Amino acid sequence: MGRIGPISLILLALGVSAWGQPWGPRPTFRGASAEDVVGALETEDRAKAAFLLGQIGDRKVVPALAEFTGDPDRSVRVQAGIALASLGDRRGIPVCATALNSDPTWIRCYAAYALWQVDTPRARRILKESLKGQGKFISEVINGALSTPYVTPAKSAAKKLSLDDPGDALAEEADWWWHEGNLEQAARCLETMLFLDPTDVQTCELAAWLEWSLGRDDQAVNTLKRGIAEAPDNPEAYFQLGFHYFNTKRYILAREPLRKALDLGGDDIMRRQYAHCLEKLGQYSEALDQWTILLQKAPDDSVVKMNYGRVKRLVNGEQ
């Protein structure tokens, strides 16, 4: 283990890790070049651009962000306001205050962290007032912001950044939180990844699984349905929704998305799952049809042969 320097000792004494706050987002993008992101403020991706500019930490972009606090798109206004607060600009405080009481959990986390970065009596008062009615996760974030003296977040390695490549960094952060045992922060990373790329079906799957693990089944289902809406021609999107319903024993709800996945060219794994679902629903003949297709494609597959034989006996009324 290397020597702990005086700055690290001070941070540890304040309850702050070398990478940032244990209750807030890691400074994943801090110190990156804002050059390639600023231009996206003039495109349909301006909400995403505003988010990243706030995380980069370059105050030179404040004038550009300020222009978007009156944008007709509320998502743009929210992200621009949170970004301004993250850069220490007080004009972002009202947006953060509203976001803390009305927006999804992942946005609330960034709003609380931004108010901590503004570091004014007004910002702290809003954090205190926003505690009422919050869930456990955001309450912990707000309490962390209120109890931790402000320090400038550490910079990550200098690098260029565009809208095309933030997902990998957030995936690494999610993995870090996962190994720390903080599933809420990991879920926040995945939700942020979906904000930046809503068509990423794999991230939808992971986010939904985490949400379900945290007891938020309705949110998990909505995440998977959102994946379908964003990628309506991707069989994996339908399969993941059907698979989630199947694993939670909602076989009637599982049947249609599993069938749709096959209609869109789904693979043999998806067909197996559809066959299992039909069997659970007592639709043995239809299930046997699926196993017959699989057996024709893989006549030596022992698992397929076993399932085919079992379902055939059910069709014949045998035990």
The token pair that represents 184 in the structure block: 């809420």
- Quick one: pLDDT band at residue 270, thresholds 50, 70, 90? very high
Residues 134 and 254 grouped into a single domain: no
- Domain housing 29: 6-147
Say whether pLDDT at 52 is over 50. yes
What pLDDT score was predicted for residue 234? 97
Say whether pLDDT at 17 is over 50. no
Say whether pLDDT at 75 is over 60. yes
In a domain? residue 168: no
Q: Which of 87, 113, 147 is the last residue of a domain?
A: 147
DSSP string covering the chain? -PPPPHHHHHHHHTT-BTTB-TTS---TTTT-B-HHHHGGGGSTTHHHHHHHHHHHT-GGGHHHHHTTTT-SSHHHHHHHHHHHHHTT-GGGHHHHHHHHHHS-HHHHHHHHHHHHHH--HHHHHHHHHTTTT--HHHHHHHHHHHHS---PPPP----B--TTSHHHHHHHHHHHHHHHT-HHHHHHHHHHHHHH-TT-HHHHHHHHHHHHHTT-HHHHHHHHHHHHHH-TT-HHHHHHHHHHHHHTT-HHHHHHHHHHHHHTT--HHHHHHHHHHHHHTT-HHHHHHHHHHHHHH-TT-HHHHHHHHHHHHHHTT--
Question: pLDDT tens, 30-48?
Answer: 888 888 788 888 888 999 9
Domain count of the fold of the chain: 2
What pLDDT score was predicted for residue 318? 73
Residues 132 and 64 grouped into a single domain: yes
In a domain? residue 126: yes
In a domain? residue 187: no
Say whether pLDDT at 294 is over 80. yes
- Quick one: pLDDT band at residue 281, thresholds 50, 70, 90? very high
Residues 120 and 24 grouped into a single domain: yes
What pLDDT score was predicted for residue 34? 83
Say whether pLDDT at 13 is over 80. no
Question: pLDDT tens, 119-135?
Answer: 999 999 999 999 999 99
In a domain? residue 182: no
In a domain? residue 154: no
**Looking at residue 293, which CATH number applies to its domain?**
1.25.40.10
pLDDT over 70 percentage in the chain: 90
